[in-house]
Amino acid sequence: MGRDEKFFRRLVVITVVMLAISAILIVRLLSFQFRMDPLVKQRLEAQAENRYIQTVEVYPNRGQIYDRNGNLLAVNSFEYRIGISPNQVLNRAETARQLAPLLGVPEDEIYRKLQPGMDGKLAAYALLKPVVGFEAGQAIMDLELPGMVIEPLPTRIYPQGELTAQLVGIFRDSDASKTRRGYWGVEGFYQSLLAGQSKRVTTSTIPVLQDAASTKSVRDGIDLVLTIDRDLQFLAQDVLNRAVAREQATGGTILIMNPRTGEILAMANYPMFDPNSLTAENVQRARNPAVTDLFEPGSIFKVLTMAMALQAGTHDEAWTYNDPGCFNPAGSRICNWDGASHGNQTFADVFINSWNTGTTTIFMQMADQLGGPYAVYDLLKEFGIGSPTGVDLEGEAPGILPEPGDLNWNEAQYLTTSFGQGVAITPLQMLTAANAIANDGLIMQPHIVKLRIDGDQVIETRPAATHRPISADVAHRARDIMVQIVEDPSSLDQYEFKHFKVAGKTGTAQIPIPGGYDPSGSIASFVGFLPADDPVVSVLVKLDRPVNYWGSMAAAPVFQELVERLVVLMEIPNDSERFQLIAQGGDPFKREY
């Protein structure tokens, strides 16, 4: 037998022996596993899972928000939660040194978290910082340090800043669940649609295996296109800010709507809110006062009294009364704003001159002829008074309309409702109700989302009527009186419209305080629309505690300034040009409003 043959035989024997030993060891290992105590097996599996496995939330892309012209109002970005697996760190001191300046955490604090625990074992995970900004997170990724666990946290950037913050809302952590969601405005109302659908997935703490889990598919949120026009919003905010400064007012609101469609074109408030600063003091201003804050509207409410009386048929333009200046119906003293008697006054005179005694007399006579106050309250409810408008903004208040049977109701309170005292509404409720006069008697559903974009599918919000409190004929008659209010040559109102016929009404409301009304301040307001005969835009101006007490002195000039710039920005032709276009068969409102 040759040397090679002997070597080959020995090799075969050694191979067979090694295979036999391996088989015995495998069988032995399997026997240990299957014969292991179930409780011991479960505990070992749990320890392995806790050491190398974690469950994380994989977030979809949140839907973005645009104005009607495609300008971004809310866009996505990321912050990061920074953790580390100490049991994978190669150089603890160097890791702490590199992370400290990026995290803003002392180097020794990071180093301590990388040390073994009381049991002498290194932890599978340690949280270094709950939230860092996008730039810091990217810088930490670039270090490529072993053991890093970097979790993306979706956040929002608001390119328009304070300009649209209160109507868009904010995206932040929930105090209760520690998860992020939208609050207030559009972000809150459309939270579920904007958020999409996230997934909880199991991922390894070993960095090499993390990316595989994060590729799990999620459903992204839908994009929203608002009815807001950024340029109109800027105009409204600019006019409001300067009016507040000029009048030394404590706050205010300007609303611009299309009464034909219910679209909200601008919604400006003061004080403003900075969406990029989530301090406790700043977040208190995140709510939108145009839909959340109630006020007693005062004389702008009289346009509803006028329309209700005409609709009920209890009064018409031929009705007259003898104005006493002051009188005491239902045990409550009611006076005109000037406290003077003016003799025989017509129905239109009541509203042109804003006589409280006139609207009170109308309410008394309506109750007598319709069978009691209940019938009058039914008419008020048709205008949406006492109920939320249903606008697609989170946080809307319903308003307050005391009725017979309520603890705080009495006959005197019923009568003061005729001139907007003792009833509380939001600015949006007031303008929505007044839009019935501008829109041939129909109240359109106010809304702020124009389009919803879900992938390739585009869903348009169609204008929808919610109430018809008055007929088209009554709306036109009420409109004509509102035009007379604006054009009255003896009026104290501080405005003049040379090229447009405007319908409007000023208001001066007392501010309720415990036990009565504050004599030191007022709410000055104006509500109106134009062109009066074919309105495409309606406006409400409200100033809180202006230096000039009266709406005619404080709010009316603001309305005029706004309208003069508004018609240019919206390309609304003046009355002369508009009538010429119509005579030639053209469409003066060819542009979409």
Let me know whether 315 and 293 are in one domain.
yes
CB 236 within 8 A of CB 268: yes
SS3 call for 254: strand
Let me know whether 60 and 178 are in one domain.
yes
Let me know whether 235 and 249 are in one domain.
yes
Two tokens at 223? Answer: 């994009």
Q: Give the residue numbers spanning the domain of 345.
A: 230-583
37 belongs to a structural domain: no
Two tokens at 297? Answer: 């509207």
Let me know whether 153 and 243 are in one domain.
no
135 belongs to a structural domain: yes
Let me know whether 199 and 97 are in one domain.
yes
| Beta strands at 170-173 and 180-183: parallel, antiparallel or unpaired | antiparallel
Two tokens at 442? Answer: 């129909």
* For residue 531, cis peptide bond before it (omega within 30 degrees of 0): yes
CATH code of the domain containing 349: 3.40.710.10
Residue after which a domain boundary falls, among 204, 226, 248: 226
Residue after which a domain boundary falls, among 195, 226, 257: 226
Count of domains forming the chain = 2
Per-residue pLDDT of the chain (593 residues; tens, 9 = 90+): 566 666 667 766 677 777 777 777 776 666 655 555 666 556 555 555 555 555 555 668 899 999 999 999 999 988 898 999 998 888 989 999 999 999 999 999 999 999 988 888 888 899 999 889 889 999 999 988 988 998 888 888 999 999 999 999 998 876 555 577 899 999 999 999 998 876 655 665 554 445 544 445 678 899 999 999 999 999 999 999 999 999 999 999 999 999 999 999 999 999 999 988 878 888 888 899 999 999 999 999 999 999 999 999 999 999 999 999 999 998 889 999 999 999 999 999 999 999 999 999 999 999 999 999 999 999 999 999 999 999 999 999 999 999 988 888 899 999 999 999 999 999 999 999 999 999 999 999 999 999 999 989 999 999 999 999 999 999 999 999 999 999 988 777 778 888 889 999 999 999 999 888 998 899 999 999 999 999 999 999 999 999 999 999 999 999 999 999 999 999 999 888 888 878 877 777 666 65
31 belongs to a structural domain: no
41 belongs to a structural domain: no
Residue after which a domain boundary falls, among 226, 246, 278: 226
420 belongs to a structural domain: yes
Let me know whether 460 and 330 are in one domain.
yes
Let me know whether 516 and 382 are in one domain.
yes
Instruction: Give the separation between CA 7 and CA 330, rounded to whole angstroms.
Output: 125
CB 233 within 8 A of CB 267: yes
Cα three-residue angle 293-299-300, rounded to 5 degrees? 65
CATH code of the domain containing 95: 3.90.1310.10
40 belongs to a structural domain: no
18 belongs to a structural domain: no
Query: Phi/psi class of residue 209: alpha, beta or left (left: φ > 0; alpha: ψ in -120 to 50)?
Result: alpha
Let me know whether 488 and 577 are in one domain.
yes
Let me know whether 193 and 309 are in one domain.
no
517 belongs to a structural domain: yes
Let me know whether 444 and 576 are in one domain.
yes
Let me know whether 178 and 284 are in one domain.
no
Let me know whether 188 and 301 are in one domain.
no
CB 274 within 8 A of CB 162: yes
CB 398 within 8 A of CB 482: no
Report pTM.
0.84
